[in-house]
Amino acid sequence: MKAMKIKYILFFVLTAFLAACTDNFEELNTDTKNPAVVSGESTFTYGQKALTDQITSTNVNLNIFKLFAQYWTETTYTDEANYDVVTRSIPDFTFREYYRGFLRDLQEASILISEATPEDPDELAAKPNKLAIIELLNVYAFQQLVDIFGDVPYEEALDIENISPAYDDAATIYADLISRAQAAVNALDPDLGSFGEADLIYEGDVASWIKFGNTLLVKLGITIADVNAAASESAIAAGLAGGVFESNDDNALFPYQPASPNYNPMYEDLVASGRKDFVIANTFVDALDTLQDPRRLSFYTFAPDTTAYIGGPYGETSPFGSYSHIADEVQAATFPGILMNYDEVLFYLAEAAARTIDVGETAENLYNSAITASFEFWDIPVDSVAAYIAKPEVAWVEAEWKQQIGTQSWIAFYTRGLEAWTQWRRLDYPILNVPPGVSSYDDIPRRMPYPVNEQTLNKANWEDASDNIGGDDITTMLFWDVNEPVLPE
């Protein structure tokens, strides 16, 4: 009996020990910082940041559109300023960031929110608004993909089971994006909530997202003005009817923070890295010097040891110590990521008016208002704008609207390389410089070539898409880019 009693005691002690160990093992194996189930709201937040990081970054592996727009040029390694996008596989990285990055995040956020059934009635009522906001960012991102490449995977995109998605016709995608944006705006109810603090752009303010969606409709519409006038006018009218940005208070800005990992990617690339890869390009400096543009002091510095703005020759080796640098404000950790600005929609509406589309205001007034909005955004005294607008090189002339809007929007869009490059491709102004690595003005890029990975892993669909757009070349003009470049005199 005594032996049996000892066995029972040992059994219970061992059982208790194992139970305790099991509890400890479970606790140790639970990652409290990375939960197994992530909410749709937090996934949306991450998608917002990933999207803004991509369009803000100046990392030459991911985003070289500030070089394409000839705002900046490179100091030592000049491949990208000479439009070599293959050596670093830039198209592959860009494709990956859009599809495997934030578009996938937004898709997952939409799935999680759709499947969730919140107990809080207010949260339940906010679900349609959350899904509509996600949809607007999807439209925004897919428009950029089309504007970069042309035909891209769309209907079959984001399906992890389909490793060889078909490419969709770019014009057809645009038409669908307009429909999706309109439907998303119509679904938004400003009397109900949305993401709250999980929305880092508008803090859950649905009325602001409605303005964003309507402004996006204007942007989509104006981009296709040369190829589908009816659809262009319809999208612009729909955006105006719903209400677009009315001031810089409506700007879609991402609030970067002072510390890693949430500071502006430009700060990471330009300051925290300790690298000195870029100076201001002479293309930009010379144009603004001609205009004596007051925004220069917000855009860039004097060249070292001088009281003059000096731009590095675009595409040539430009020593960092010899040329104007990016302004401290622009490369600050907390400089906001810019998705869309008030000046942007005003330039689009000025163009629409110049094309005789009824937008309720004259092209001249909208053009002047756009410049004023840009001055305000860059903290330039607005009382100086009247003298600037009166300059012969700036003052509105109806017959020269493409040159004027093209040049002034290029200046206003500083740091927004993709939008500036898109404006140049559509309006053919301003006149850019020809870097030494290309043979003629006609060789300046009109699109990004498809990724090499697509040529090898999705060959049949890549070939179809290449044939449809007229060849997978960097100089192939996209469907909305129908006017031949204006050659320099």
CA distance linking residue 32 with residue 46, whole number of Å: 18
What pLDDT, on a 0 to 100 scale, did the predictor assign at position 29? 45
Domain encompassing residue 111: 40-260+335-469
Cβ-contact 451, 153 below 8 angstroms: no
Nearest to 52 by CA among 456, 291, 335: 335
CA distance linking residue 317 with residue 201, whole number of Å: 38
Work out how many domains the chain is built from and give that number. Answer: 1
Burial 74-88, CB ≥16 within 10 A → b, else e: bbeebbbbbbbbeeb
Secondary structure, 3-state, 345-356: HHHHHHHHHHCC
CA distance linking residue 202 with residue 44, whole number of Å: 13
CA distance linking residue 285 with residue 299, whole number of Å: 10
3 within domain boundaries: no
Q: In the numeric block, which tokens belong to residue 115?
A: 């499947």
Map residue 479 onto helix, strand or coil: coil
Cβ-contact 159, 111 below 8 angstroms: no
2 within domain boundaries: no
Taken in order 301, 304, 306, 309, the sign of the CA dihedral is negative
Q: What stretches of 194-248 show up as alpha helix (H) in DSSP?
A: 206-223, 229-242
CATH number at residue 455: 1.25.40.390
pTM of the model: 0.92
197 within domain boundaries: yes
303 within domain boundaries: no
The percent of residues in the chain predicted with pLDDT above 90, rounded, is 90
What pLDDT, on a 0 to 100 scale, did the predictor assign at position 3? 40
Neighbours of 18 (CB within 10 A): 10
Cβ-contact 304, 219 below 8 angstroms: no
Q: HSE, CB side, 13 Å, CA atoms: give it for residue 336.
A: 14
What pLDDT, on a 0 to 100 scale, did the predictor assign at position 36? 54
Cβ-contact 345, 369 below 8 angstroms: no
CA distance linking residue 226 with residue 424, whole number of Å: 14
The single residue listed with the structure tokens 């699109």 is: 447
289 within domain boundaries: no
What pLDDT, on a 0 to 100 scale, did the predictor assign at position 38? 86
What pLDDT, on a 0 to 100 scale, did the predictor assign at position 489? 77
Map residue 140 onto helix, strand or coil: helix
DSSP result, 295-317: THHHHBPPPTTSSS--PBPTTS-
Please state whether beta strands 252-254 and 167-168 pair in parallel, antiparallel, or not at all (unpaired).
unpaired
Cβ-contact 438, 68 below 8 angstroms: no
Q: At what angle do helices 342-354 and 417-427 cross, to 10 degrees?
A: 10
Write out the chain's pLDDT in tens, 489 residues.
334 333 333 333 434 433 444 444 344 444 554 455 689 999 999 999 999 999 999 999 999 999 999 999 999 999 999 999 999 999 999 999 999 999 999 999 999 999 999 999 999 999 999 999 999 999 999 999 999 999 999 999 999 899 999 999 999 999 999 999 999 999 999 999 999 999 999 999 999 999 999 999 999 999 999 999 999 999 999 999 999 999 999 999 999 999 999 999 999 999 999 999 999 999 999 999 999 999 999 999 999 999 999 999 999 999 999 999 999 999 999 999 999 999 999 999 999 999 999 999 999 999 999 999 999 999 999 899 999 999 999 999 999 999 999 999 999 999 999 999 999 999 999 999 999 999 999 999 999 999 999 999 999 999 999 999 999 999 999 999 999 888 887
Nearest to 58 by CA among 270, 299, 296, 316: 270
Cβ-contact 293, 272 below 8 angstroms: no
Rounded to the nearest 10 degrees, how much is the dihedral formed by the CA atoms of 166, 91, 222, 156? Answer: 20
Q: What's 441's DSSP letter? A: G
What pLDDT, on a 0 to 100 scale, did the predictor assign at position 450? 98
Which residues on neighbouring strands pair with residue 432, listed in sequence order?
none
Nearest to 436 by CA among 79, 6, 57, 67: 79
326 within domain boundaries: no
Q: Find all residues with CB under 8 Å of 404, minimum gap 6, and list them.
A: 367, 394, 396, 397
Please state whether beta strands 278-280 and 72-74 pair in parallel, antiparallel, or not at all (unpaired).
antiparallel
